[in-house]
């Protein structure tokens, strides 16, 4: 009887051991599979852009297309960009730093973008139809190029996986701002002075700048303040506002900066303004506190901003 039980138990034990072995193999394969999935998920992260698009973007994108006014933010962070609107960089302070970057045009050319095989697309354009097309090519993020430099650089660091570099660049920039403030004060600029930036566009359209370009440097440095009407534009989070020539005295500050346009019609409008009685009666004009700067060298982008920190004291000292 005992022998019979032993004989019965032997195959049963073998079966049990076989099942146990198979189960262990299965568990091991499942663990490997889960590990593989985990590694795959770790190559991307979720990001919500300022327009509410939830996007899975690479942790360390290598082939970036950027279409927007603040393109050089990426150059400042030593990021390799494969495509941008080259025409928008003509005449800028960084136009000689574009070797190897393809022109994707403006509006952005979908076919050219597709052929570049990007792994991330960053655009300033908020057109949803264009966004939908671009999203079919690669993960696409809408980016607020009118946001302040202090907001943009950390956000870019998060988006492209260069947070440490972004933080360091911004820290260095803030040191340069303090140097500029001291130079401005040495040049006779008093704390609390108001400043205004104006430019003409074709169609005899006069604009006062608020969250765009040179005005960001003036107001965010803390050395110049916007006039109350410009502050209202800032409160509306607008980059600029079209005004009539008759409203110029209300927007004009203690110091006026004119962005000289490239368009011939806009140049004629600027000349007409400067020759008007409204212009001649402005306090800044009477005090010889008027300065000019080519509009293409007045951008909000990082490299231009660094350049302006050096140029502003020179302009004031002239």
Domain of 202: which CATH number?
A: 3.40.50.1980
Looking at the structure, do residues 192 and 303 belong to the same domain, yes or no?
A: yes
Does 119 map to a domain?
Answer: yes
| Per-residue pLDDT at 61 exceeds 60 | yes
Can you tell me the distance from the alpha carbon of 93 to that of 308, in angstroms, rounded to the nearest whole number? 10
Looking at the structure, do residues 191 and 284 belong to the same domain, yes or no?
A: yes
Q: What percentage of the chain has pLDDT greater than the value 90?
A: 79
pLDDT (average), residues 261-280? 97
Interval 195-217: pLDDT, tens: 999 999 999 999 999 988 899 88
Does 34 map to a domain?
Answer: no
DSSP string, 72-133: HHHHHTT--EEEE-GGGGTTSTTGGG-TTPEE-TTTTPHHHHHHT--SEEEE----HHHHHH
Q: Which regions of the chain does DSSP assign to beta strands (E)?
A: 44-48, 54-58, 64-67, 81-84, 102-103, 120-123, 140-142, 193-201, 205-209, 224-225, 240-243, 255-260, 290-294
Does 304 map to a domain?
Answer: yes
Looking at the structure, do residues 193 and 157 belong to the same domain, yes or no?
A: no
Looking at the structure, do residues 196 and 149 belong to the same domain, yes or no?
A: no
Looking at the structure, do residues 195 and 145 belong to the same domain, yes or no?
A: no
pLDDT (average), residues 78-99? 94
Given this model, what pLDDT does residue 223 score?
79
Interval 152-208: pLDDT, tens: 999 999 999 999 999 999 999 999 999 999 999 999 999 889 999 999 999 999 999
Q: Which residue has the tokens 């040049």?
A: 187
Looking at the structure, do residues 310 and 190 belong to the same domain, yes or no?
A: yes
Does 17 map to a domain?
Answer: no
268 to 22, 113, 190, 276: CA distances (angstroms): 85, 38, 33, 12
Does 33 map to a domain?
Answer: no
Confidence of residue 13 (pLDDT cuts 50, 70, 90): very low
Looking at the structure, do residues 215 and 284 belong to the same domain, yes or no?
A: yes
pLDDT (average), residues 238-249? 96
**CB-based burial of residue 93 (10 Å sphere; 0-12 exposed, 13-18 middle, 19+ buried)?**
buried
Tokens of 148: 């302040």
Looking at the structure, do residues 138 and 223 belong to the same domain, yes or no?
A: no
The count of structural domains within the chain is 2
Looking at the structure, do residues 198 and 148 belong to the same domain, yes or no?
A: no
Looking at the structure, do residues 105 and 210 belong to the same domain, yes or no?
A: no
Q: What percentage of the chain has pLDDT greater than the value 70?
A: 87
Contact call for residues 218 and 316 (beta carbons, < 8 A): no
Confidence of residue 5 (pLDDT cuts 50, 70, 90): very low
Given this model, what pLDDT does residue 220 score?
81
Looking at the structure, do residues 115 and 209 belong to the same domain, yes or no?
A: no
Looking at the structure, do residues 128 and 191 belong to the same domain, yes or no?
A: no
Domain residues for the domain of 233 are 186-317
Given this model, what pLDDT does residue 162 score?
95
Contact call for residues 305 and 69 (beta carbons, < 8 A): no
Tell how strand 54-58 and strand 44-48 pair up.
Answer: antiparallel
Average pLDDT for the chain: 88
Given this model, what pLDDT does residue 215 score?
92
Residue of 208, 202, 312, 214 whose CA lies nearest to 263:
202
Does 225 map to a domain?
Answer: yes
Confidence of residue 42 (pLDDT cuts 50, 70, 90): low
| Per-residue pLDDT at 80 exceeds 60 | yes
Tokens of 156: 């870019």
Interval 247-267: pLDDT, tens: 999 999 999 999 999 999 999
């Amino acid at each position: 009887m005992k022998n019979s039980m032993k004989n019965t138990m032997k195959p049963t034990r073998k079966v049990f051991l076989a099942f146990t072995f198979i189960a262990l193999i299965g568990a091991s394969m499942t663990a490997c599979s889960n590990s593989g999935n985990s590694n795959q998920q770790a190559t991307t992260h979720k990001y919500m852009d300022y327009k509410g698009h939830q996007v899975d973007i690479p942790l360390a994108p290598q082939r970036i297309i950027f279409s927007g006014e603040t393109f050089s933010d990426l150059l400042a962070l030593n990021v390799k960009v494969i495509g941008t609107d080259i025409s928008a960089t003509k005449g800028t302070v960084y136009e000689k730093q574009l070797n190897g970057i393809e022109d994707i045009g403006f509006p952005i050319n979908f076919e050219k973008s597709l052929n570049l095989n990007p792994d991330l697309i960053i655009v300033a354009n908020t057109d949803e139809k264009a966004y939908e097309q671009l999203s079919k090519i690669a993960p696409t993020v809408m980016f607020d190029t009118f946001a302040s430099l202090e907001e943009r650089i950390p956000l870019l660091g998060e988006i492209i996986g260069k947070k440490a570099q972004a933080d360091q660049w911004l820290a260095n920039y803030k040191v340069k701002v303090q140097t500029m403030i001291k130079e401005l004060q040495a040049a006779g600029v008093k704390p609390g002075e108001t400043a205004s930036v104006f430019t003409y566009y074709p169609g005899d359209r006069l604009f006062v700048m608020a969250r765009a370009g040179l005005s960001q440097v003036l107001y965010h440095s803390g050395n110049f303040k916007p006039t109350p009407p410009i502050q209202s534009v800032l409160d509306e989070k607008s980059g600029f506002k079209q005004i009539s020539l008759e409203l110029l005295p209300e927007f004009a500050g203690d110091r006026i900066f004119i962005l000289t346009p490239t368009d011939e019609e806009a140049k004629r409008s600027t000349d007409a303004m400067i020759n008007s009685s409204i212009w001649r009666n402005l306090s800044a004009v009477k005090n010889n506190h008027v300065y000019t700067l080519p509009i293409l060298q007045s951008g909000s982008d990082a490299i231009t901003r660094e350049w302006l920190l050096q140029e502003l004291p020179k302009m004031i000292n002239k």
